[in-house]
Structure 1
């Protein structure tokens, strides 16, 4: 049986989460024996206070006691949204239920005195649903007719969560608190990094990150890399962009990403052994 601590020995992997969000994945991959390089492919920027989108978000958050459900899309939504909320609400409104998408989002929420108090306990299903579909399947969001639900997120993004909740007769608003910006690295600099580090796998944790990577990689070089993606939707985007070698993880979390890469490595080893 392979030694779990060195399952990924010799693999050279690039991870690309926004700055400040890479350490857990980097440490997990390195502990498994991989050689890890870090290059953020998205920048997260809070909205300026004079931005109309910020002012709209602030108005909605000021009315937080009018809502029954509060949903944070990501850890970035927590960081930027709670910076506003904390100045408006020293105590959380009674009866407001809170939800997080992703374990990292739930962990970020628990660093605040509230809405941690309104969040499900660690280990409970609603403490960090890994995607919109799993959140929508939770009992608390089944019978929401007439309820007001506020989603804290970045500017733009997928509409599926709000669409389904509206189909269930909820009233849904967005508090958009940050924007996703292109990284400063050029196509030439990124390709030079990939070549210098002899990267084999590239972890892309979102469709936005895939777009930034695709824009910087020449079509003729896209077959050189195996991408690790967090959903069937992003996998399809990658294939449409001309990438052929793709590892599909269950979600964008560290545990799922690590498990998907380890499984791919095991299958690759088994296939190589059979050919021998």
Structure 2
């Protein structure tokens, strides 16, 4: 496989597989080095009080498909009948689809044409004022701290419920060579923590290759790390990332 046809997909799990499939269908040759995987937290690591008090929340925001999958498992365990009180929000359509499949509910989703970021979620009119409302933000350990802080600034009483952790691993010998030598056309990254992890293995050639990120926040972080060819996609969906890769190829 030549470097001229190789797109590095760093997103873990099913999300990465969907992106790789979309890139393949668009005529690219994606490779998916294992740099991170998602691990559900053990029962004694989860703040079960938030699950037991689930009916007391006015708003539930789910930040990723894996968070939705974990939440479905926990609610099945403690709530045979889903409470009717909370309004559900999902950061993207894949997360909303997981919630609909597992819980039979329709979650509010930001306009996908505006991107799938915390900023687009917070721009929704129904989240503009949350005076006294209890908001549960469901995600992984760490990450998206700004989301809860912004909700609190709008009057909400926000609680973060972490249901999984990100486990980082070193790239195998082949992937390490790609990163060291820049043997790829472009690389996609949708997580700041993952970007901080993989930059350790990036040589100067890799830092000069096109890096497609899913938000301006990530682009700012990547710039501080020395990445020199930054391209911001309109969100983290496979469609948005593929479009950004295509635009890089056209330049």
1:101 is the counterpart of 2:88 = no
Query: SS state of the match for residue 13, structure 1?
Result: strand
1:217 is the counterpart of 2:202 = yes
* Deviation string, structure 1 residues 107-149 (Cα, Å, up to 9, x no partner): 221211x2x42524xx8849x9722122222232123111111
Q: Provide the aligned length of Structure 1 versus Structure 2.
A: 247
Per the alignment, do residues 151 and 36 of structure 1 end up closer, same or farther by CA in structure 2, a change over 3 Å counting?
same
Pairwise CA distance, 1:156: 1.1
Question: For the residues of structure 2 that align with 1:189 and 1:110, how far apart are their CA atoms?
Answer: 39
Q: Contact between 1:43 and 1:181, CA under 8 Å: does it hold in 2?
A: yes
Structure whose CA Rg is larger: 1
Query: 1:160 — aligned with what?
Result: 146
Deviates more, 1:96-105 or 1:191-200: 191-200
Deviates more, 1:256-265 or 1:135-144: 135-144
Per the alignment, do residues 124 and 162 of structure 1 end up closer, same or farther by CA in structure 2, a change over 3 Å counting?
closer
Query: 1:18 — aligned with what?
Result: 12
Structure 1, unaligned runs of 5 or more = 1-9, 269-276
RMSD of aligned alpha carbons: 2.4
Which of 211, 216, 229 is the equivalent residue of 1:245? 229
1:171 is the counterpart of 2:157 = yes
- With normalisation by structure 2, the TM-score equals 0.89
Q: Contact between 1:202 and 1:227, CA under 8 Å: does it hold in 2?
A: yes
Q: Which runs of 4+ in 1 moved over 6 A?
A: none
Question: For the residues of structure 2 that align with 1:137 and 1:91, how far apart are their CA atoms?
Answer: 31
Q: Contact between 1:206 and 1:252, CA under 8 Å: does it hold in 2?
A: no
Q: Contact between 1:13 and 1:200, CA under 8 Å: does it hold in 2?
A: yes
Structure 2, unaligned runs of 5 or more = none
Q: Contact between 2:179 and 2:206, CA under 8 Å: does it hold in 1?
A: no
Question: For the residues of structure 2 that align with 1:147 and 1:134, how far apart are their CA atoms?
Answer: 20
Pairwise CA distance, 1:194: 5.1
Question: For the residues of structure 2 that align with 1:170 and 1:96, how far apart are their CA atoms?
Answer: 14
